[in-house]
Amino acid sequence: MNSLERVRATLSGGGADRVPVFPMIVSGTARWAGVPISRFAADPIVMADCLLSAQQRAGYDGLHVSLNVTVEAEALGARIEQPHDDNPHVVAPLLVEPADLLRLKVPDPLTDGRLPIFIEATRIIGATSAIRC
């Protein structure tokens, strides 16, 4: 049973040969590939390559295209710092008072923060994975 068959069987309630595995190792794949996390976080091609390479090496069933929750915070307008080889972190929070919630706008995934990087990495992975499944 391949990964796609395993996931489909599990989602349909049928029997799979084992539980599908989708580890959330994300930036760990950059470390495994010897790529600085800052490159992984900024380049959808690098991100897709790191995620796919780790999946191929380890043989798990699916990928989690993400970094950490700073992606969403940045898309909402928070100021983020991206160290060279560590995960990004928020340096200026958006929400200090409850009234701050009223100023938030729904982010546009095609333009806000790093969301477009994740969309493109997902597109690359989807195009590549469709060939293997």
Which amino acid type is present at position 117? I
13 lies in a domain? no
Four-point Cα dihedral 64, 15, 57, 33, nearest 10? 10
The model's pTM is 0.88
109 lies in a domain? yes
Domain that holds residue 30: 22-132
The single-letter DSSP state of residue 26 is: T
- Summarised one tens digit per residue, pLDDT across range 95-131 is 989 999 999 999 999 999 999 999 999 999 999 865 4
Residue 54 to residue 25: CA distance in whole angstroms: 9
79 lies in a domain? yes
88 lies in a domain? yes
pLDDT given for residue 120 in this prediction: 97
Token digits of residue 13: 């309630």
17 lies in a domain? no
- Summarised one tens digit per residue, pLDDT across range 12-69 is 998 899 999 999 999 999 999 999 999 999 999 999 999 999 999 999 999 999 988 8
Domain count, the chain: 1
pLDDT band, very low/low/confident/very high, at 133 (cuts 50, 70, 90): very low
4 lies in a domain? no
128 lies in a domain? yes
100 lies in a domain? yes
